[in-house]
Structure 1
Amino acid sequence: MACVALATYAQNLTGFAFSLILLGLVSLFHIASVSDTANAAMVLTLINAFTYFRARPGPVPWPLMKPALNGGTVGVLAGLILLASLSGGAVAWLRGLLGASILLCALLLVLQGTPRSTLSNPRSFAFAGALSGVLGGLFASSGPPIVFHLYRQPLDREVVRRSLLLMFAFNALVRLVVVLSTGQFTWRSTWLAACAIPVVYGVTQLHHRLPNRMNPATLRRLVAGLLAGAGATLLATAWQSIAQSA
């Protein structure tokens, strides 16, 4: 529950990192299996997005994110198909690749001085959404590509946060429908999600009552730090899995 609380606060603060932080911490402390945690994280992502949008009424950025959502749907399905075809050793290597890509994303975010002067075209949104979808299908963690893409846009940080929450909730819903229909959502996943829902709701409400006043530059560095921490954790757990199977 402490891991869920930390992941939820980070998600509300930056608009992303819930699944990355939760999976990283659970893997680090061997609290539960990654598959059960990923399944629970999908439900919790939906609860967090619903609570956030309800607590902060405002326009949902559907027009902006439509190309990314379309690409994300295709990406999630492709990621799930790829996951089903891989052996355990290959999944460990892919998890390490995910950690490396997260670290690269953190580095690029730090080096990125100022946002773009104009909004990227819809094709770039669709491409970033598809990449995020593939990672979401594989690991239930679809953050890095769309996070980096949106933080480069000339958008208000609240718009970025709402866009990310929408993207992650949509990918989680697509993945959840597939997982439920194929019987991969276990009773342990249900138990973990049920225990964590009050924590997600409570932390999100607390963040609404005590909002963050951080300036954009500090927030960008914090986002990069969260990415770096999540990437390093995933690399460490992947290396451990590879070493054990060697």
Structure 2
Amino acid sequence: MPEVGWSALLAFWGLSALGAWSQTLTGFALGLIVMSGTTLFGLLPVPVTAQIISILVLLNGAMVLWRDHHHADRKAVIAAVIGATPMIALGYWLLHWMVGSALEWLRLILGVFIAVAALQLVHRPQPWEARSPTPAFGVAGATGGIMGGLFATSGPPLIWLLYRQPLTLDTIRVTLVVYFVITQAFRLVLTAADRSFDRLTAIALAGALLAVAVGTWAARRFPPRVSPLAIRRAALVLLFLSGVGLIGTASVALARG
């Protein structure tokens, strides 16, 4: 088990609170914020971080959905989950293969994924006049599934598609939360079968659960006096910078190697 100091754990817990706060307000970003910040600053190993994110998403989802679950678009969720499930399994297998032999390539892939996701989501696109056919949501789920298995962040393709639908913001937000809860629960089943839960994961998770509970509660109890779009854009600017930082550090390491 790698040694991790209290400063790294405190920073990780802070990222968890920030991610929960953002996801409660916008419907996404918990996994992206926690994974990008943790990987950029080397706080925890990628497999440990991804495993914890899965559990944190479940807690945040439970707190959000107990009151708002009726807003979800069931057809979109079902199609996206069907598309994502086999690809999450593939991504999880790739995670164990790449961490041992190509850690810097893994870091580079994550940086590109985060930077591109942030760029495409900074501006809320104009909704289309007609709803996309149901299979399109399955394709979006499958596209993000591999990254969901690798980094527990499978949302950007589905986020991109949902924000182009003629749906209310509440429907988009809750549909995303339901999708994240189901896909992360499936990823947890994979990690349980692998028996990869260790003492470091338990310690980091304990504090992160409290941080997520506080972040979720704060977002619902004291929403900021700015538009959700402004919050979303600020979070995505930070994500983009994190992605660029990951690309830079990985590129330097690969060039030296």
State the TM-score bracket (shorter-chain normalisation): 0.7 to 0.9
Instruction: Tell me the CA shift for residue 191 of structure 1.
Output: 1.9
Partners in 1 of 2:174 and 2:26 — Cα distance?
Answer: 10
Q: Does 1:9 align with 2:15?
A: no
| Corresponding residue for residue 118 of structure 2 | 106
Instruction: Tell me the CA shift for residue 240 of structure 1.
Output: 5.2
Alignment of 1:35-74 (within 5 A): 35-56=47-68, 58-74=70-86
Q: Give the aligned CA root-mean-square deviation in angstroms.
A: 2.5
| Corresponding residue for residue 6 of structure 2 | none
Q: Does 1:181 align with 2:193?
A: yes
Q: Does 1:127 align with 2:139?
A: yes
Specify the code of the residue in structure 2 equivalent to 1:169.
V
Is the 2:104–2:253 contact (alpha carbons within 8 Å) kept by the matching residues of 1?
A: yes
Instruction: Tell me the CA shift for residue 57 of structure 1.
Output: 5.5
Alignment of 1:147-226 (within 5 A): 147-211=159-223, 214-215=226-227, 218=230, 221-222=233-234, 224-226=236-238
Instruction: Tell me the CA shift for residue 196 of structure 1.
Output: 1.4
Q: 1:87 to 1:211 in 2, by over 3 A?
A: closer
Is the 1:99–1:230 contact (alpha carbons within 8 Å) kept by the matching residues of 2?
A: yes
Q: What is the TM-score when the length of structure 1 is the normalising length?
A: 0.87
Unaligned runs of at least 5 residues, structure 1: none
Instruction: Tell me the CA shift for residue 21 of structure 1.
Output: 0.9
Specify the code of the residue in structure 1 equivalent to 2:140.
A
Please point out which of 224, 238, 244 is paired with 1:232: 244
Partners in 2 of 1:29 and 1:102 — Cα distance?
Answer: 15
Q: Which moved more, 1:174-183 or 1:184-193?
A: 184-193
Instruction: Tell me the CA shift for residue 119 of structure 1.
Output: 1.1
**Deviation string, structure 1 residues 134-192 (Cα, Å, up to 9, x no partner):** 11001111122112111122211111111111111111111110111111222211221
Is the 1:24–1:233 contact (alpha carbons within 8 Å) kept by the matching residues of 2?
A: no
Instruction: Tell me the CA shift for residue 230 of structure 1.
Output: 4.2
Unaligned runs of at least 5 residues, structure 2: 1-12
The count of residues paired between Structure 1 and Structure 2 equals: 245
Matched residue SS, 2:70 = coil
Alignment of 1:19-38 (within 5 A): 19-38=31-50
Q: Which moved more, 1:209-218 or 1:74-83?
A: 209-218
Partners in 1 of 2:134 and 2:91 — Cα distance?
Answer: 22
Specify the code of the residue in structure 1 equivalent to 2:212.
V
